[in-house]
A = this chain, B = another copy of it.
Amino acid sequence: MKKGSRNFLALTLILTQSLSSFSQSDSVVIRKIFTEALTNGRSYSNLDQLANGIGGRLAGSPGAAKAVEWTKKAMIAAGADTVFLQECMVPHWVRGEKEIARFMGPAAERKALAICALGNSVATPTAGLSAGIVEVKEFSELEKLGKSKIQGKIVFFNRPMDPSRIATFHAYGGAVMQRVGGPSIAAKYGAVGVVVRSMSLIKEDAPHTGVTIYNDTFPKIPACAISTNDADFLSEKLKKYPESKFFFKMSCKMLPDERSHNVVAEIRGSERPEEIIVVGGHLDSWDNGDGAHDDGAGIVQSIEVIRIFKALGIRPKRTIRAVAFMNEENGGRGGDKYAELAAKNKEKHIAAIESDAGGFTPRGFGCTFPKGMEKQELVFLSWKKQFSPYFADDLHRGGGGADIEELYKQGTPVFGLQPDSQRYFDVHHTVNDTFDKVNKRELELGGAAMAALIWLITEKGFEGPGK
């Protein structure tokens, strides 16, 4: 018998036992949670205030500071027992003036191109940068081309996201290293600038920003994203006119670190208050849209978890904390700070859940349990039936979130809310990530799903037949 089969049998056994061990009250409470979210929900009106009212809120910006204040108030309004801030220093990158780019082929073919600076990028020289341009689709092509063909040039990373991947995050995962690591890898071969095809599955004119991470070993060179329409244009023209130049001008820069905050709302547990369950999203967003899906949704859903417990008069056995993490997009300092304080204060985090994949219809949760917690993992997976009535029962291994990764390293099981992913990369990191793209019910269902999972964890821990 193979190992997989034995696991399957064990799981089946646990499932069977576990299903019968559900008290009627679990499903009744979960039904109440969903009804509360769908009939009296505040996540949508909260998102209107955060996204439309405050707008873009990149770490260190005035928008982020306003968002911290707003979140504190919204958490108090939701009925949290305690709301507090956690100070952290964050990188303060600013985009500067609107970026300009131009295809510099034969006169008749010249055209302005839609670009935006990658987050953390350095500026071009004040007058802009013009250079020959080399298109590649794989990092390995750089090694083949070698320094002689890259030195002094701009590298154009143009591998599209793979549309045949059903989960669009897999398509993203297959392409995003071009943006995150591409600039430094190109610099290694002497490139003077980088243009990256936007991480998008549609043909469109909006460029998608997102973080790039420089490797300090190599020079920092300016890097931008180009819209998919203009990436296709550029690629086509370069085939005809390979000697063409590419011009771009960006004035973005990194300022000194800025003081900012995580915002934390707590409901104190009645029986085991020392056992903490975190539910969160990130409060910062890119500057071009209003960050409604990324990650206003996760913020208002996390606040909604607090509100739902209070509105239903549920006093959880364990402590629930809704956390609005700062600086996920270009530094992760908020997540680091939270985990640092958790360790310093010897807090016991038994679970951390993140919503950071958009405010779309929830399909389930992915989980990552630390080694040695296989039985607890099976308990979690056995809760599938509780989510089936809500079409959110895809409970599976693999998942978490950037802001709770450090908690995971400290031994906390982590969970990621998994919404339907088809529309996410249409708006991700662009001017189109705006409140009007969020559907009220889809958003509400995500908050309810998280509240339901938290109910199960607060009442049971991960005990039960699996332990």
Residue of B nearest to A32 (CB): B164
Kindly state the separation between the CA atoms of A442 and B422 in the bound complex, as whole angstroms.
Answer: 6
Which residues of chain A in 417-437 are interfacial with respect to chain B, using CB atoms and an 8 Å cutoff? 420, 422-423, 426
- Which one, A85-93, A297-305, A386-394, is touching chain B? A386-394
Given contacts A361-B422, A442-B423, contact A391 B394 (CB under 8 A): yes
Say whether B39 contacts A389, CB under 8 Å. Answer: no
Interface size, A (range): 20 to 34
Quote the shortest CB–CB distance from A264 to chain B (angstroms).
Answer: 30
Say whether B201 contacts A441, CB under 8 Å. Answer: yes
Kindly state the separation between the CA atoms of A168 and B440 in the bound complex, as whole angstroms.
Answer: 13
Partner of A439, one of B166, B361, B426, B442: B426
Say whether B164 contacts A39, CB under 8 Å. Answer: yes
Quote the shortest CB–CB distance from A244 to chain B (angstroms).
Answer: 29
Say whether A164 contacts B34, CB under 8 Å. Answer: yes
Residue of B nearest to A388 (CB): B394
Kindly state the separation between the CA atoms of A390 and B170 in the bound complex, as whole angstroms.
Answer: 13
* Binary interface encoding of chain A residues 152-163 relative to chain B, with 1 for a CB under 8 A from any of its CBs, else 0: 000000000001
Kindly state the separation between the CA atoms of A426 and B442 in the bound complex, as whole angstroms.
Answer: 12
Quote the shortest CB–CB distance from A177 to chain B (angstroms).
Answer: 22
Interfacial residues, chain A to chain B (CB-CB below 8 A): 34-35, 38-39, 163-164, 166-168, 201-202, 361, 363, 389-391, 394, 420, 422-423, 426, 439-442, 445
Known: A34-B164, A422-B445. 11 other contacts (CB 8 A): A34-B166, A35-B164, A39-B163, A163-B441, A166-B445, A202-B440, A361-B361, A361-B422, A391-B394, A422-B441, A426-B439
**Interchain residue pairs with CB less than 8 A apart (20):** A34-B164, A35-B164, A38-B163, A38-B164, A39-B163, A39-B164, A166-B389, A166-B390, A166-B445, A201-B441, A202-B440, A361-B420, A391-B420, A420-B420, A422-B439, A422-B442, A423-B439, A423-B441, A423-B442, A426-B439
